Amino acid sequence: CRQLFRSPSVPSGVPRPTLKRGQPLDRDTPVKAKQQRRVAGSPDQEALVELGMWLEPSRCAQFEEIRSLLANDDQELIGDFSKPHLLPMVEGKDPGLKYISPGTLAAVLMGHFSSFIESSIVVDCRYPYEYEGGHIKGAVNLPLQRDVDEFLLEQPMVPLDASKRVIVIFHCEFSVERGPKMCKFLRERDRSCHEYPQLHYPELYVLKGGYREFFFQFPSHCEPRDYRPMEHQAFKEELRKFRGHSR
């Protein structure tokens, strides 16, 4: 496959926080729609890439399929314009953000993209009582902007292997308000720390449907295996308190 541009260098002496890693998942539903992708090195041929195949570890073509997606000129570039987005995206509410399906997140957690990803950080933007009532395995709970600042920017995650990626995936209960807002906040703060277009975290995603949709599709990837809504009757006081902190 043709050579991809490398990401701009970032400081190498920055310590890396230890993340609890979850085990990725599988596709939400069997993917029937096939996307046409051009085969790298064969400009006159078209190949049908079935995204659902990424979730089948026995399929030996998985590596080359992902590689062909990376080599596709039609892919949108990540935030520092160094390479195309790795994960297949779906349409979301905010056209300025990149959304992935619950099935794609499951695939990441199960390691189907491990040849390309060094660290995947799932950021749960829900309030602590929601997180404690059930969350995606390995997700970190960062409900406030200062939490994101401290965890992701004070000691940025830098890949040890320059050919691999660090990706960040945000979500809240429905990924309609808190998750998307926090994703935008990180990008804005990250931009302010660098000379354009360099970034610590050029590849950001939002989980479409949020924890609620993910839990109903992949409960085995959640701990505890439960779902506590934001407006739970037993946590009215906590909701009032955290809404005040968020303003």
| Active site positions, annotated | 172
Q: Look at the block and give the residue holding tokens 């354009």.
A: 196
Helix axes 210-217, 102-109, angle to 10 degrees: 70
How far is it, in rounded angstroms, from Cα 175 to Cα 100? 11
- Residue 1 burial (C-beta neighbours within 10 Å; 0-12, 13-18, 19+): exposed
How far is it, in rounded angstroms, from Cα 211 to Cα 65? 28
What is the DSSP secondary-structure string of 1-51? Answer: -PPPPPPPP--S-------PPPPP---SS-----EEEEPTT-TT-EEEE-G
